[in-house]
Amino acid sequence: MELRGPEVKISRGTPLSLAERFLERALFAYSKDKFEDALSDMDAAVEAEPHNAELYATRGFILARAGHDSEAEPDLEKALKINPQQWLAHYTRAMMAFKTGDLDKALGHLAVAKVVAPRRPEILIYQAAAYYHKKDKPNAQKIIAEAVEIIESGDKKLLKEAKKWQKAINDLLA
């Protein structure tokens, strides 16, 4: 499954902070699958702003994507302690639960993430995938249709991923 991470920040006419600059560089390295470079920059970002939940959640996300789930968990916990509505931390915990086959736990984390960020299509795609693996076709169909609708005019790569899931879900025996 294609995974999207945090979005790149756009300066709205004000200079980015030091932490934001490290975050931007980390996200660029992450987009090139240079996890060690990304993590090094995330370490510097966290050091510059140690009370920023987004930075801990992002570092946890990158750690999880690099296959270091046990190292990601303390960052996710810290992010949620600072800001319980940090959707990326809930999403990352869902990814990790999905990976281990704990679909109910993944769905629980995704439900919280969806409350916080209801129009993030990656959350919906993961929810649909979890329902697919649980053979719950009606919920999977409803959620993947919602994801496709949200991304219809947006990210073509993500739309392609969602449509693949939609086809697999539709082919699922009832």
Instruction: Say what the pLDDT of residue 155 is.
Output: 75
More confident residue, 58 or 1: 58
Instruction: Say what the pLDDT of residue 41 is.
Output: 97
Residues of the chain with pLDDT > 90, as a percent, come to 75
Instruction: Say what the pLDDT of residue 6 is.
Output: 61
pLDDT in tens, 71-90: 999 999 999 999 999 999 99
Instruction: Say what the pLDDT of residue 14 is.
Output: 75
Let me know how many helices (H) and strands (E) the chain has, helices first: 9, 0
Backbone angles phi, psi at 119, to 5 degrees: -110, 20
pLDDT (mean) for 39-51: 97
pLDDT in tens, 88-114: 999 999 999 999 999 999 999 999 999
Backbone angles phi, psi at 69, to 5 degrees: -60, -40
Backbone angles phi, psi at 7, to 5 degrees: -80, 150
